Amino acid sequence: MSTPATPVVAAAPAVPAIPPSPTEPAITEPGVPFVEIEGLRSQQFIPAAKEALLSLLAEQGQGKVIRPVFNWAGRNSLFPLHWGLACCAIEFASAFGARWDAERFGVVPRSSPRQCDLLIVNGTVTWKVAHKLITLYEQMPEPKWVIAMGNCATGGGPFRTAYSVVPGVDKLVPVDVYIAGCPPRPEALLDGILKLEELIRERRE
Ligand code: SF4
C-alpha cells in the first residue's frame, strides 16, 4: 500500500494585521453621514441619505454637518467646461464616451462657464487665445478649479520654444492638478480628476 503524496500547495501563513501609523491617520469623512450605498438602487438612495443626514443634524447640530456635506456633494459633482484646444481634447472627449464613462464619477461637462467649476485646459495654449481663456476662467463662479491636461498645457510641450505658445497655462490661471503625457490617456484624466477630488477634500475641510 503506497503512502499518500505530500500536498504541493501549503496553506499560506496568516498575515499579521498592520497597526495604523501614528503619523498617517486613516482618511475619514468627518461629519459626513455613513450610508450603506452598495446595495441601494437609485430610488432608495435619496431617502437613505436624507435619513442619515437628518439623524446626524439632530446629533451634532448644523455647524458641524452642513459644510462637510456641501463639500462632499461639490467634489463629487464637478462640472468641467465643455471645450477643447488641440489634440488632447480628443482624449478629453474619449474620457466621457461609453468606454471610460467619466460621468460615473459625477463629472458632467457643461457648455457655459457660468455653470462650471472645473476648467480642463486640454491642448496648446497660444498667446492669441490666452485672453479668451482668462475670460472663460473669470466667468466661472467660485469655488473653481483648473486641471492642466497634457504637456502643452503644463509647460508648452513640443512647442515650448515657439514665439506664439504660452509655456504653461499656470502663467495665466492658477492650476490645481497637472497631468503629464502627449497626449495623456483618458485613464490619466480620470486619475487627475480623482486627485483633484482628494485635493478639494484636503483644502476645504
Ligand atoms: S500635449 Fe501632445 S497631444 Fe496634447 S495638445 Fe500638446 S501636442 Fe497635442
Using a 6 Å cutoff on CB, does residue 123 contact ligand 1? yes
45 has a pLDDT exceeding 60: yes
**124 in the same domain as 49:** no
> 184 and 101, same structural domain?
yes
Range of the domain at 60: 42-75
Give pLDDT, residue 1: 45
Residue 127 has pLDDT above 60, yes or no: yes
Q: In this predicted model, what pLDDT tens digit does every residue of 53-96 receive, in sequence order?
A: 788 788 877 777 777 888 888 888 999 999 889 999 999 999 99
Query: If you measure from the C-alpha of residue 87 to the centroid of ligand 1, how many angstroms do you get, rounded to a whole number?
Result: 5
In a shared domain, residues 104 and 137: yes
The pLDDT value recorded for residue 20 is 53
Cβ of residue 184 lying under 6 Å from some atom of ligand 1: no
- Alpha-carbon distance of 154 to 170, in angstroms, equals 8
Q: Is the pLDDT of residue 35 over 60?
A: no
Same domain, 69 and 103: no
Assess whether 187 and 112 both reside in one domain.
Answer: yes
User: Is residue 65 domain-shared with residue 98, that is, in the same domain?
Assistant: no
**Ligand 1 binding pocket includes 166 (Cβ within 6 Å):** no
The C-alpha cell at 144 is: 473653481
In this structure, the residue with its CA closest to atom 5 of ligand 1 is: 123
% of the chain at pLDDT higher than 90: 57
User: Does the predicted model carry a pTM greater than 0.85?
Assistant: no
Q: Do 69 and 106 reside in the same domain of the chain?
A: no
Quick one: three-class SS letters along the chain? Answer: CCCCCCCCCCCCCCCCCCCCCCCCCCCCCCCCCCCCCCCCCHHHHHHHHHHHHHHHHHHHCHHHHHHHHHHHHHHCCCCEECCCCCCHHHHHHHHCCCCCCHHHHCCCCECCHHHCCEEEECCCCEHHHHHHHHHHHHHCCCCCEEEEEHHHHHHCHHHCCCCCECCCHHHCCCCCEEECCCCCCHHHHHHHHHHHHHHHHHHHC
Whether the CB of 151 sits within 6 Å of ligand 1:
yes
Whether residue 167 lies inside any domain: the answer is yes
Does residue 16 fall inside a structural domain?
no
Is the same domain home to 60 and 160? no
Q: Is any atom of ligand 1 closer than 6 Å to the C-beta of 182?
A: yes
Tens-digit pLDDT profile for residues 136-147 = 999 999 999 999
> If you measure from the C-alpha of residue 180 to the centroid of ligand 1, how many angstroms do you get, rounded to a whole number?
10
Predicted pLDDT of residue 50: 80
Residue whose C-alpha is closest to residue 147's, from 174, 113, 109: 174
Tell me whether residue 5 is in a domain.
Answer: no
Of 42 and 176, the structure prediction assigns the larger pLDDT to 176
| CATH number of domain containing 106 | 3.40.50.12280
Q: Are 141 and 54 members of one domain? A: no
Number of domains into which the chain is organized? 2
Which of the listed residues 24, 50, 75 is the one where a domain comes to its end? 75
Residue 17 lies in a domain: no
Lowest mean pLDDT among 15-24, 76-85, 149-158: 15-24
Decide which of 53, 75, 97 is a domain's last residue.
75
Confidence of residue 110 (pLDDT cuts 50, 70, 90): very high
CA nearest ligand 1 atom 2, residue: 182
Residue 13 falls inside a structural domain: no
Which residue's CA is minimally distant from atom 6 of ligand 1? 152
Q: 190 and 100, same structural domain?
A: yes
Name the domain boundary from 75, 98, 129: 75
Q: Is residue 190 part of a domain?
A: yes
